[in-house]
Chains A and B, each alone.
Chain A
Amino acid sequence: MNAFILTFDSIHHVMKAEKLLLAEKIKLEVIPTPQDISPNCGVSIRIHEENFCDKKITAILQTGKLHYKISEKKYT
């Protein structure tokens, strides 16, 4: 099972992104940033592949003018 991890520049951006995505009913989870993506303490948003639609999510986050990175991660 794969998931996409969205990492942001600051916790404030994470909070903003979470609000925007939830408002559009995107199913997500707030998780600590996986160590292999960034060893620094931080929080990321995880979206499982079945809930992830690249176009839609990009559009939503753009309304918030948020800069972010997407990583893919395998989960057992």
Chain B
Amino acid sequence: MKIIDAKGMLCPKPLILTKKALSEIKEDEGLQIAVDNENSLKNVSRYLKDNGYEIHTDRSGTVTVIHVLKKGQVFSEENSENYSITESKKTGNYIIAVFKNTLGNGPEDLGEILIKAFINTIAETEIQPASILFMNSGIHFTVTDSPVLDSLKKLEEKGVEILVCGTCLDYFKNMNELRVGKVSNMYEIMDKLSKTDKIIYP
């Protein structure tokens, strides 16, 4: 029986120790991991379950001991990144860039109605974007009288970051007209775009 004391350790340390231990212990040798924070408990448990291990947890105060029975499973190295989430965010690592007030190329009235429907649908997708960026004529959706203001406010409450280009706001309206999100700039926008996994331009 191998015992790992991962108390006081933050993700991904408990996971790394768990992986290492699992590769070292013998067939049918037990493993116990003690954690004291919710994220580590969730991430380690999920990783073990996803890789076919049976686990049993014992909670005593703030400490939970995860009991694992080795089943001769093979690990895939790539998966561990998915389990090192330090915040249980419900947003995915993608960005929606609304750089105009229409969707696609074609008649303007069709484009306008499509983009409205598109934005109103974002809140209903399973995994919301980490951020929604607004530039050029897209900023109209973030100011007073926007037809999609309620949807954007709801998304903001759910943790989706809403960034609005300051230059564009200034060009079209007064900065005071902003009703959702925060004023941003090219540096911040570029930073977000360069670090995300994918960008959707409706």
Contacts and interface: CB of A to CB of B under 8 A. Distances in A.
Interface of A: 11, 14-15, 18, 29-32, 43, 46
Contacts of A15: 109-110, 113
B148 A29 contact: yes
A30 B116 contact: yes
Given A15-B109, A31-B120, 11 more contacts: A11-B113, A15-B110, A18-B113, A29-B120, A29-B148, A29-B150, A30-B113, A30-B120, A43-B113, A43-B117, A46-B120
B121 A29 contact: no
B104 to A, nearest CB: 13
B151 interface: yes
A11 B110 contact: yes
Main SS class of interface, B: helix
Contacts of B110: 11, 15
Contacts of A14: 113
B72 interface: no
B8 interface: no
B113 A29 contact: no
Contacts of A18: 113
B52 interface: no
Contacts of A30: 113, 116-117, 120, 147
Contacts of B148: 29
Contacts of B151: 29
Contacts of B117: 30-32, 43
Contacts of A11: 110, 113
Nearest to B121: A32
